Amino acid sequence: MDYKAAGVDIEAGYESVNLIKEDVEKTMRPEVLGGLGGFSGAFLAKALKGMRDPVLLSGTDGVGTKLKLAFIMDKHNTIGIDCVAMCVNDIACAGGEPLFFLDYIACGKNRPMKIKDIVAGVAKGCEISGCALIGGETAEHPGMMSDDEYDIAGFTVGVVERDEMLTGSDIRDGDVLVGIASSGVHSNGFSLVRKVFADDLNLKGLSKARKELDGDSLGETLLTPTRIYVPLLKNLSGNGVRIKGASHITGGGFYENIPRMLPKGKSAYIRKGSFEIPPIFSLIQKKGKIEEHMMYNTFNMGLGMVLCVSPYEADRVVSVASLTGDEAFIIGEIREGESETPEAVLI
């Protein structure tokens, strides 16, 4: 009896590490010390040198049940982008720059080429957001999940000057809300998505072209990776745009996430029809017979990030956003709320 007979293949682990080295190296920053294989990732604190009052930010998240679609489609090279996006977008909401990232992959059986695809996605997400992939872990869990299944989670650390943090504390009546387009469903609401499309959760159902999706397949549409907004926020800051607050539209949709950036007594009034809703959401709502409130309380509905700025900055946000390939919409404004608890109100 040996470890391999018990379900853990050490040699496959070594092969996985060798396969991912090239992708990981693409994410390196000057502050990274050492390479793959150490017991910890090392990042020089000189990244904070010259800052007046640096604040470290951290974020952690996973991809959720979107993974089920990747298993069925046997497509694993975008899931890692989702994992990075879910973490670094939260850092961006505080006005921060992500510095480094670590991932954790648990699998039923270590299949090196599949691990390479997953980590290639993680590395791509890190490249887009400008952070280094300085470490991670791949663990085989035989008996806890099937051989073809895995889960992934990530963790990131970022930094921001304390007086440049986006806290929402200076949001005032009359400030404007600007929504930034999502790439699709992103990585939230997939338990409901899978319930709606239960009859199509097979390779044939997910692969066929659909006229409701402009000829794209359901599987490719749903597996479109979460958009990373770090370059956009960095570019806005670099162009002198003063952002007062930012909300990453994840689980809980508009109703839960937009109020998170608001001070007490303020409400966000969002005009329906002020932004484009991608066809996938209309298909989900129609097929699942889902009420409008539930749609906006579950999904991003086409906006992955919502920013709050003064009325004088709104048009500039829309203009500057196009430089990073983002589409921005002026979607509403801030008003005095009916209670102390911040709310999002669709009008």
Task: Give domain status of residue 1, yes or no.
Answer: no
Mean pLDDT comparison of 29-33, 41-45, 61-65, highest-scoring range: 61-65
Give how many domains the chain has, as a whole number: 2
- Give the per-residue pLDDT at 3: 52
- Give the per-residue pLDDT at 16: 67
User: Is 198:288 a contact under the CB 8 Å cutoff?
Assistant: no
- Give the per-residue pLDDT at 267: 96
pLDDT digits (tens, 9 = 90+) for 204-239: 999 999 999 999 999 999 999 999 999 999 999 999
* pLDDT exceeds 60 at position 15: yes
* pLDDT exceeds 50 at position 17: yes
Task: Give domain status of residue 183, yes or no.
Answer: yes
195 with 324, same domain? yes
CA distances from 316 to 233, 240, 309 (A): 13, 10, 10
CATH classification at residue 273: 3.90.650.10
146 with 198, same domain? no
CATH classification at residue 127: 3.30.1330.10
176-191 in b/e form (b: 16+ CB < 10 A) is bbbbbbbbbbbbbbbe
Give mean pLDDT, residues 253-270: 96
* pLDDT exceeds 80 at position 9: no
- Give the per-residue pLDDT at 207: 95
pLDDT digits (tens, 9 = 90+) for 69-113: 999 999 999 999 999 999 999 999 999 999 999 999 999 999 989
Among candidate residues 164, 193, 215, the one where a domain is terminated:
164
* pLDDT exceeds 50 at position 2: no
pLDDT digits (tens, 9 = 90+) for 322-346: 999 999 999 999 999 877 899 999 9
119 with 71, same domain? yes
Q: pLDDT higher for 7 or 264?
A: 264
295 with 196, same domain? yes
Task: Give domain status of residue 169, yes or no.
Answer: no
241 with 339, same domain? yes
158 with 191, same domain? no
Residues 6+ apart with CB under 8 A from 154: 60, 61, 62, 83, 84, 86, 87, 101, 102, 103, 104, 122
88 with 233, same domain? no
Distance CA 217, CA 201 (A): 12
Task: Give domain status of residue 239, yes or no.
Answer: yes
Q: Which domain holds residue 88?
A: 10-164
- Give the per-residue pLDDT at 229: 98
195 with 283, same domain? yes
Task: Give domain status of residue 4, yes or no.
Answer: no
153 with 192, same domain? no
Q: pLDDT higher for 97 or 28?
A: 97
Give mean pLDDT, residues 46-55: 90
Give mean pLDDT, residues 50-64: 95
Report which DSSP code applies to 332: E
- pLDDT band at residue 43, thresholds of 50, 70 and 90? confident
Task: Give domain status of residue 331, yes or no.
Answer: yes
Among candidate residues 164, 194, 211, the one where a domain is terminated:
164
Share of the chain above pLDDT 90, in %: 82
Q: pLDDT higher for 6 or 30?
A: 30
pLDDT digits (tens, 9 = 90+) for 280-317: 999 999 999 999 999 999 999 999 999 999 999 999 99
209 with 315, same domain? yes
- pLDDT band at residue 263, thresholds of 50, 70 and 90? very high
Distance CA 157, CA 41 (A): 12
Among candidate residues 105, 140, 164, the one where a domain is terminated:
164
- pLDDT band at residue 11, thresholds of 50, 70 and 90? low
198 with 332, same domain? yes
Residue with tokens 């469903």: 185
Q: Euclidean distance between the first and final Cα of the chain, in Å?
A: 67
Task: Give domain status of residue 3, yes or no.
Answer: no
- pLDDT band at residue 18, thresholds of 50, 70 and 90? confident
* pLDDT exceeds 90 at position 248: yes
pLDDT digits (tens, 9 = 90+) for 168-217: 999 999 999 999 999 999 999 999 999 999 999 999 999 999 999 999 99
262 with 143, same domain? no
Task: Give domain status of residue 277, yes or no.
Answer: yes
